[in-house]
Each structure stands twice: as structure tokens, then as C-alpha cells.
């Protein structure tokens, strides 16, 4: 008979040990966020107007592309509308040059996905940042490419609205 603890018991023991060490260190929150088992549920939400471009966006996106649901919508003009169907790539990171919500453990969201532009297949890539409370320092850059290869890009600080990085 095997006298070794099960894999799940060892995993739990390691998680408890890591959490205890993280709590005892001065930067306990950053250490805890860095653990891979803790990253589930991390996401960024928000939206608003981008600079004076006439573009508006709204989103709720997980840092793990397999966590659902994920939503992104971008509107401009009176007829243009992109809607995300599938989040294909997601990355959340902490840019030290951006003062932001330290409790979330990140302030920058980079993503890619497939969806529709005015009902036609399209892809999008984006970067959103949470620069702290309110829209003043929040940034959005979005590139949308339709299935014919036409590209539209918008970038700038939010004119109104807010991006909010949220920890797990």
C-alpha cells in the first residue's frame, strides 16, 4: 500500500504554505497574486468614450481566455459595431509606469479575439489600461480587421467612462 499523500493533498499543502509565506512577507498581496492558482477570476471591466474619436467601447474580459463569459463591444458612427464572439488570447500584466489599483495585481490587459463587424466576420486586438480611479489615466487601443483585410484603429485616453482591473 502506498503511504505517500495524494497529489491533491500535496497541492493543497503547498498552496497553504505559499499563502502563509505570502501573508508574512511585506508585499503579501503581490506575492499571493503571483501564484498561478490564484489568478482564476482576474478580469478587467469597463468602457466609455475613447479620446475625441467618436468611438465607444464596453467590456468584461477575463485574464484567462477560457474563463467565461467574455464580452467586448465597440461602436462608432451611426452604423459601425464590433461584437466579440470568442476571446482567443488574453494577457494581464502590471506596467510599473502606470499608477493603478495594486489590489488587482495588474493594470494592463492585452487581448485578441474573433467576432463580427456589422454582422461580417472580423478580428480585433486591444490593449486596455487601468490608470487608477476614474477615466483620467485609463487608456484604450483597439484594432479591428474585417474579413476583407480592411483595418480600423483607435487609441487614446478615455474621455469618459472607466477601466477597472479586478483581482480574483
Residue 116 has pLDDT above 80, yes or no: yes
Same domain, 124 and 56: yes
Q: Could you read off the pLDDT of 38-97 as tens digits, one per residue?
A: 456 899 999 999 999 999 999 999 999 999 999 999 999 999 999 999 999 999 999 989
H helices, E strands: number in the chain: 2, 8
Q: Record the pTM.
A: 0.76
Report whether 131 contacts 137 (CB < 8 A): yes
% helix, strand, coil for the chain, step of 5 = 15, 50, 35
Number of domains in the chain: 2
81 shares its domain with 110: yes
114 and 56 within one domain: yes
Q: What is the pLDDT of residue 10?
A: 45
Phi, psi of 33 (to 5 degrees): -65, -30
83 and 23 assigned to the same domain: no
pLDDT of residue 87: 99
Domain assignment of residue 30, given as a range: 7-36
Amino acid at each position: 500500500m502506498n503511504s505517500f499523500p495524494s497529489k491533491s493533498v500535496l497541492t493543497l499543502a503547498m498552496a497553504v504554505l505559499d499563502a502563509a509565506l505570502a501573508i508574512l512577507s511585506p508585499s503579501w498581496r503581490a506575492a499571493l497574486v503571483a501564484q498561478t492558482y490564484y489568478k482564476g477570476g482576474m478580469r478587467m471591466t469597463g468602457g466609455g468614450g475613447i479620446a475625441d474619436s467618436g468611438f465607444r467601447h464596453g467590456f468584461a474580459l477575463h485574464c484567462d481566455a477560457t474563463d467565461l463569459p467574455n464580452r467586448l463591444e465597440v461602436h462608432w458612427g451611426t452604423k459601425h459595431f464590433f461584437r466579440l464572439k470568442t476571446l482567443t488570447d488574453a494577457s494581464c500584466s502590471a506596467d510599473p509606469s502606470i499608477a493603478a489599483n495594486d489590489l488587482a495585481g495588474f493594470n494592463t490587459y492585452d487581448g485578441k479575439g474573433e467576432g463580427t463587424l456589422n454582422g461580417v466576420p472580423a478580428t480585433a486586438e486591444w490593449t486596455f489600461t487601468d490608470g487608477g480611479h476614474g477615466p483620467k489615466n485609463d487608456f484604450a487601443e483597439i484594432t479591428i480587421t474585417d474579413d476583407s483585410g480592411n483595418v480600423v484603429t483607435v487609441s487614446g485616453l478615455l474621455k469618459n467612462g472607466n477601466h477597472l482591473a479586478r483581482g480574483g
